[in-house]
Amino acid sequence: MTTGAVKDSTQYPVLRNLQFSPMKQEGDQLIVLWDPSGLSHEKLVLPLNFFFIVQHFDGEHSLPEIGALYLKRFGEFLLPSKVEQLVADLDQKLFLEGPRAETARQQARMDYRQRLSRPAVFAGRSYEADSAKLRKQIDGFFTSDEGPDFKPSEHRGKSIKGLVVPTYDLKQAGPVYAWGYKELQEARQPDVYILIGTAHAGLENLFAVTDKDFDTPLGVVPVDQPIVNRLKAAAPEFFEEDVAHRSEHAIEFQLPFLQTVIGKSFTMIPILSSFSALSLNDPTVRSSVDRFLCTLRDAIDASGQSVCVIAAGELTHLGLRYGDSAPPTDFSFHRSMQRDLEMLKQVEELKPEEFAGFIQKENDQRRISGFSPIYSLLRLIQAEKGHVLRYDRGITDQYNSTVTYASLAFF
């Protein structure tokens, strides 16, 4: 949530950019809050009336004003002591902007930059931490009923230019990842991989590059330092938020697939991105996006190496968890699926501005979270055509909130 003029944060609290999800517990509807940036490792479960309160922690509403809104909404007085205790609890959990969160943010940035490499944060949580078990898990995604198996690709031996893959939970979406990575496995492989993933916690500078190698259970994936150094020299502002990589899963989830299908050492450029199709109408955003993509393209060209750009992100988000007033129905999902596939035609035909325009015409009502990495891929690669390989969805809560995702390959 955004802030206006600087005000006393104890009277005008500002909730950080948190995520939430509805849940049922013994017949009661509750809301779970957590921090996608990983600055706070806490979770907070709130009843709906308290969630109403924190939704007004935007820096514009004072505590007395929130009390008046609460009275109007629920017909009962809100004791000031209860609100003050809620503010104190949220601040303690680093859920509010303020000195405590800023100190923690600076410490996290310092700790991250002192590390020699970026650790495998999600190993043992989202995928197997043991290397042998992980290889078996990845192989299982290929051979599952929903996976691509090992039949030869019609693009075998061609030079692969790009992939679009999910960032969704591997246990659900693993076979969809496998459809994309099978194409890479059979293709003529590049020198360097440009990995662009969605920054789910958001970014001030729209892109965040890190120069850290990534640890995985299958070994270390090194960054291509010559390209990164050229990029840093030309556009240092896009390295300021490198700490965003610390807890973001979008790139980490790709690495076991890459290590499995490539079968040899390789280098990468890890990039997180966060801007919407609607935001491209802002000249400042457009200028920043153009600057980064042109600078990256120049650094790649100067290296003389061939690259494959991998865009990692999801498509539509439907349901209560994502701000809809009701859970999705079969009809609303199938209608959205049709719109997704129409939208992906622009991606297949490598039309970045038409892709953006499609979402802008819908006012981004379906919340395409993977827009920025996919748009960036379309601006960077030179290919003949893309191909949708697989499309699916995941269910994220008890209210059938739904995320859709796909794999595409570009040759």
pLDDT tens profile 102-125: 999 999 999 999 999 999 999 999
Q: In what order do the strands lie in the sheet with 43-47?
A: 19-25, 28-34, 43-47
Beta bridge partners, 409, equal 163, 387
SS3 144: coil
Query: Which alpha helices (H) appear in 225-329, and where do they start and end?
Result: 225-234, 255-262, 283-303
- What pLDDT, on a 0 to 100 scale, did the predictor assign at position 27? 78
Q: How far apart are CA 322 and CA 9, in angstroms?
A: 27
- What pLDDT, on a 0 to 100 scale, did the predictor assign at position 25? 84
Q: In what order do the strands lie in the sheet with 219-221?
A: 117-118, 213-216, 219-221
The token pair at 216 is 């995985």
The parts of the chain modelled with pLDDT lower than 70 are 1-6
- What pLDDT, on a 0 to 100 scale, did the predictor assign at position 28? 85
- What pLDDT, on a 0 to 100 scale, did the predictor assign at position 3? 46
**What is the pTM for the complete model shown?**
0.91
- What pLDDT, on a 0 to 100 scale, did the predictor assign at position 101? 95
- What pLDDT, on a 0 to 100 scale, did the predictor assign at position 5? 53
Nearest CA-CA partner of 168 in 406, 411, 390, 408: 406
Report the interhelical angle of 283-303 vs 371-380 (nearest 10°): 50
Q: How far apart are CA 217 and CA 124, in angstroms?
A: 10
Kindly report, as residue ranges, where domains of CATH 3.40.830.10 are found in the chain: 121-410
Q: How far apart are CA 292 and CA 281, in angstroms?
A: 17
Beta bridge partners, 30, equal 23, 47
- Give the 3-state secondary structure percentages of the chain, helix then strand then coil, rounded to 5: 45, 20, 35
Q: How far apart are CA 324 and CA 402, in angstroms?
A: 11
What residues contact residue 95 under an 8 Å CB cut-off, 6+ apart?
15, 16, 18, 33, 35, 40, 42, 44
Integer-rounded Cα radius of gyration of the chain: 22
Longest dimension (CA), the chain: 70
**Superfamily of chain region 121-410:** LigB-like (3.40.830.10)
Q: How far apart are CA 323 and CA 309, in angstroms?
A: 31
